Structure 1
């Protein structure tokens, strides 16, 4: 069944999906769009909710990066079967998205003064806050976020 991943030609919220597909040895068409030419009305109109990423498998379409990542991870046997272990993994993933939201705010900010303040916050506060906690969890769990080797 033909698989396609549609996203921008950059590392972003679809990068984890690309990693999962490659890790699982899945053959897929990596369709990338230029950010500077976005939005392309023809492409946006074909998207179920007018946004990327979009994952296609045969004639089925799936949107939302977390839903796509969970689906692919399930297909390549990377999801825990224990509900608690899955909840721990979901917690980390959602926390990564909390971090990413702060970074995206910087890139979207147009006011130079506010953009400089956001950059300072990210570099001096946000990165240390999140990454120190990620590092601690990995250390406490022998290099894994959920503490179990699959």
Structure 2
């Protein structure tokens, strides 16, 4: 599973003119399930995301997690993270999970996040979403959890 995390001071997702998810200070997580991913990869990705120390401590060093600072999570599905551009100028998305698996893993990820963290918002799977954010730092971190071979 793939994710791009952005430390934000605020973020929101809009679908058809309606705000469907919104947080203040916290993490915007763009997530993508790849072929072969299971709930095990989703769980490992969430655990890493919740414990990743990318928020400043009192000395200004990135030493606190989203859980430690009480930040929100805004989780947005984004299959384009699986883009393969090695074959030319048009990206291939064959490494992304099929839509049914992708949706199931996205919903599992959100449910687990809500069980583990107090403030979790989300976008809508496969919707045309507009994502607005104020990147804090800026801090942007890519994560990848690969299934065992």
TM above 0.5: no
Q: Quick check: which one's helix share is greater?
A: 1
Structure 2 length-normalised TM: 0.26
- Please tell me whether Structure 1 or Structure 2 has the larger radius of gyration of its CA atoms: 1
Higher-RCO chain (CA-CA 8 Å, sequence separation at least 6): 2
Q: Quick check: which one's strand share is greater?
A: 2
